[in-house]
Structure 1
Amino acid sequence: MSQTKAPRLKAPRPTIERPPAISGILAPERFMKLLALVLFVVAAIIPFISATPYIISILTSAFIYIVLAMGLNVVVGYAGLLDLGYIAFMAVGAYTSGILTTQFGLSMLETIPFVIVACILAGVIIGGPTLRLRSDYLAIVTLGFGEIIRITANNLKITGGPSGIHGIPTWSFFGWSFADGLDIGGIHFNAKVLFYYFVLFVGIGLAVVAVSRLGKGKLGRAWKSVRDDEDVSEAMGINGYATKLLAYIIGAVWGGFAGTLMASHLSAISPNSFEFLYSALVLMAVVLGGMGSTPGVIIGALFVSLAPELLRDFSEWRYLIFGVLLVVAMIFRPKGIWPANAVLPFLKKREIPGVPPTSAVSVVGASDEEVFTDEERR
């Protein structure tokens, strides 16, 4: 008995021919990569222009803020979780490194695995029972978590109590420490400059690249789906709870790494370094720059960390001016200084035959697969 072969189903042909990918320097994705490379090189040559302790110190702190803000961008910008106690993860990382280096003799590099484990546990402990909450309720719980960590550190003997931990060493690798300095081509790099480059290349380079790639991958699309509408995303097969918990854990790890960098930069930490104000400042950096936008978060972190220092000449008026600048920025740029869908008009736009070029839209930071024309959307 012969069996008839079932007909093979074929996907319908697209009704509109897809335009070729954009090439050249003015292609949106390539332009953003070149711009990032130029700014990275500028940051690398700053110590050759002016290497005063003050400039190196404030720039190092600003770069650590960028690492911290990139971690919070995963939680707030990608997953849409309002976290008002994010500084607690920075405290977990800082105290873990501080205790292990000062009381157990480990190097900063050797503490990294312990910091990662501690931050994962902290993320699971706070995120596990609370991420089923939404909006204001989640914000209140995270705010309480941040205060619990600070008060606990203020009352434990191992954390130094109100006095904190002092004498935290700088980074060392196989017997060589940043404190030893380094001579290259007749140029002496002291400990502060070496740590500046370490934060620039390892901290910012790793944080920006990793978080950007996560945002464009499958997991990043799941985060954004949950952020836009959790009920619809679950109907499409996405586990909203697990997706949010993973975002919380990844954000916690980045916060802990930033805490490790800050502890070695300041060489001393105390509970006053992790008050609610700092959580608000980091959240402000993400919202001000543009939630979900990598260049926006970098701009926001630099603004929040450097503006008070640049306004120091105004003495007691500087925080008032800083607040006014924040209000003005939010009035004129309510979606952030550089939102995720920012458009630069001079970049190339994808065009479709028969469609006027003026209807094409160029999205900065988006890949070629994410740039469409108005006609394609219809």
Structure 2
Amino acid sequence: MKSQNTPAMPERRKLLVAGTGIVAASLIPHGLAAGKSAQNHAPSQNSKRLTALGKRQLGKMEVSAVGLGVQNMSRKYDTSVPWRPEMVNVIRRAFDEGVTFFDTAEAYGTFEVEKILGEAIAPFRDKIVIATKFGWNIDQQTGNRLPGLNSRPEHIRLVVDNMLKRLNTDRIDLLYQHRVDPQIPIEDVAGVIKDLMDQGKVLHWGLSEMGINTLRRAHAALPVTAVQSEYSMLWRGPEKHVLPVCEELGIGFVPWSPLGVQFLTGWIDEKTRFATGDFRATETRFSPDNLPHNLQLVELLKTWALRKNAAPGQIALAWLLARKPWIVPIPGTTNKDHMLQNTAATDLSLTPDDMTELTRSLDAITIQGQRLPDSVQVYSDVEAPLKR
């Protein structure tokens, strides 16, 4: 790991260790105010931090090594509503730290998170990459989610036009199909995306939670830039089929929930119970029956955190980054200090020996319970790669 005393390293790299757990407190770099105004976003500062944060390739698209997921910026897991100006500040501060990859979707909010992101990135739109997603059956007038999925060509075109308005931009850098609609051949979807690319409205496309046959057919019809699926120490499903195919085809991989919906940060323990409306309450891996067993993973992370003078979540992110050079995690947060902690994970070096030892320990832990509720899992093809 890089020395924490290196002069070029911001003070936020210092971590506070409390008790047997790790509580990371990211300290603000000297001379930076948390509520920096749009006028003060100096390109030279971002260039300096981007060098430290690092760059990665998703297909032919270059992004920062760690992105920012903004899903919860209109409604957090616990159902509370964040203060919108602070969410704008978090996004802008992430850019100051070198983050150039921001992930959202029309389904988040609904629509509201795209609007928050569009407002926040306006001062530096041309210096960043926006990823968003279509695929759920959402009424474009009311925002109401209707049953099932919707990737009809005319619907995709309408969705993209509305996305551009909400994001206050003239193009979407990376457009994912959020869930694959079995009623619409993937080749037809690719044809619509190609038309949108020809119009300059979309620059790259990707798939989320798709099966392997779908991915191969999609890539044959129109080169896929990135795949986004859940992947973390908590759920390693993509390792068996998805990651090998991505490597074969030169497709980047973007893990959503790289911190296991907060589990890998160490903030959840066996006494944790989730609020009504918190979707984690529907995931049996967090049920009272399974949680004590699954906390073996957190204890392993805490051991490594002490060993590396880091936070548990930083170990989890560093492990993902070390898996493949074309993996770009997008940890989401509504907290500035947590965002700083996540981006600081790029300073944490896990050697090949570290990775062998850590991964072997992970292999010995079997996570009990289901990762998604049935109502969502039915739309995911990742665990059944020979469908479609």
Same fold? TM cut 0.5: no
More helix by share: 1
- Provide the TM-score with structure 1 as the length reference: 0.24
Larger radius of gyration: 1
More strand by share: 2
Larger RCO of the pair (alpha carbons < 8 Å, separation 6+): 1
- Provide the TM-score with structure 2 as the length reference: 0.24
